[in-house]
Amino acid sequence: MEEKKWYVRNTAGKVFGPIDFESLKSWVKDGRVEPLAGVSCDLKNWVLAPLRPELEMNWVVENNPGQFYGPTHRSVVDDLVKTGTLSPAARFYQDDRGAALERIRALESALAAKDAETVQKDTSLAEALKLSSKKDLQLAAGQKALRERDDRISEAKSQLMLKDTQIAELTKIVQQRDVQLQQATAEIARRDADRQAQDMEIARRDAEIATLREQLAKRNEVHKREWKTEVVVPEVVANELPPPVARQAFTSSPFAGGASSAALAELERRAQQELARMGAEGAKKFFRMKK
């Protein structure tokens, strides 16, 4: 049969073991097991060490009046005496079973109260841990929200920089358009000046044309008054002499009988040249000749 393994739990809740029962008895003799320590062989069911009769923890020391230590083993009491730890007035008692049980019950009540206090502290600690976990979750959520806000701020900054770049490009384009507009305005002004100059030149030429037309009209009117010639076929009378005045005129003119044929030919040549220069229409206008 396999030997049981034992564990010792001190009043601070710390567990020692596993050990065999002989080692447990040795620990009791060495004073390693406190009066309120618990012992167990399965880590579930705990019993106060003094309640195990085989451990012989049935001695109590009254060091000073009202100051007790125990129950413990006789070897522990002997060690206290040898080392001079106890006062000269120290008294020793070996509990019988009834008194020991009564004291053990009191110790168990105190231990239960201490366990309840420990459980309460553990509960408070669990609640504190739960609250701390909740706070940690809230902190993590806050940190996540902060990172998301930082990401949104970074994105907004990037968009703002992009907008600034676009605004700068648009400003450059507007400046170029302004320069083009100024150049176009100057070109329009130049063309307006050229058009005004042309209008003035046209007006001047129109005035000149009007003047020329007026002069031409006056000249035509003069021609109308001066040249109204009709061609009359002369009536020839044979063997009749002109009147004396006519005879005199013919006598003194180049056409007189004394003129040479060469002179008449030269005069006719000149007349033909002049008519050729003027043209037929010019001759008609000049002489106002009727058909």
C-alpha to C-alpha distance for 92 and 153, rounded to whole angstroms: 80
C-alpha to C-alpha distance for 37 and 8, rounded to whole angstroms: 7
Q: Which among 97, 83, 88, 98 has a CA at the least distance from the CA of 65?
A: 88
pTM here?
0.36
What pLDDT does 291 receive? 45
pLDDT values of the chain reduced to their tens digit, one per residue, 291 residues:
568 899 999 999 999 989 999 999 999 999 999 999 999 999 999 999 999 999 999 999 988 888 888 899 999 999 988 988 888 888 888 865 555 555 556 666 766 777 778 788 888 888 888 888 888 899 899 899 889 989 998 888 888 888 888 988 888 998 998 899 899 888 988 998 988 998 898 889 889 888 888 888 887 777 666 555 454 455 555 555 555 554 454 444 444 444 456 667 777 788 777 777 766 566 555 555 544
C-alpha to C-alpha distance for 60 and 100, rounded to whole angstroms: 10
Looking from the CA of 105 toward its CB, the CA atoms found within 13 Å total: 5
What pLDDT does 240 receive? 56
What pLDDT does 93 receive? 84
List the alpha helices (DSSP H) in the chain.
Answer: 21-29, 74-82, 97-226, 244-252, 261-287
- In single-letter form, the type of residue at position 244 comes to P
Tell me the residue length of the chain: 291
The DSSP element (H or E) to which 69 belongs, if any, is strand 67-72
CB 11 within 8 A of CB 34: yes
User: For the chain, how far is it from start to end, CA to CA, in angstroms?
Assistant: 174
Q: Which among 63, 10, 54, 17 has a CA at the least distance from the CA of 33?
A: 10
CB 9 within 8 A of CB 15: yes
CB 37 within 8 A of CB 11: yes
Q: Which among 40, 22, 38 has a CA at the least distance from the CA of 30?
A: 22
Under the phi-then-psi rule, with left for phi > 0, alpha for psi from -120 to 50, and beta for the rest, what region is 242? beta
- Burial class for 50, CB neighbours closer than 10 Å (0-12, 13-18, 19+): buried
* 7 Cβ contact partners less than 8 Å away, ≥ 6 residues apart: 15, 16, 17, 18, 19, 39, 40, 41, 43
- Burial class for 75, CB neighbours closer than 10 Å (0-12, 13-18, 19+): middle
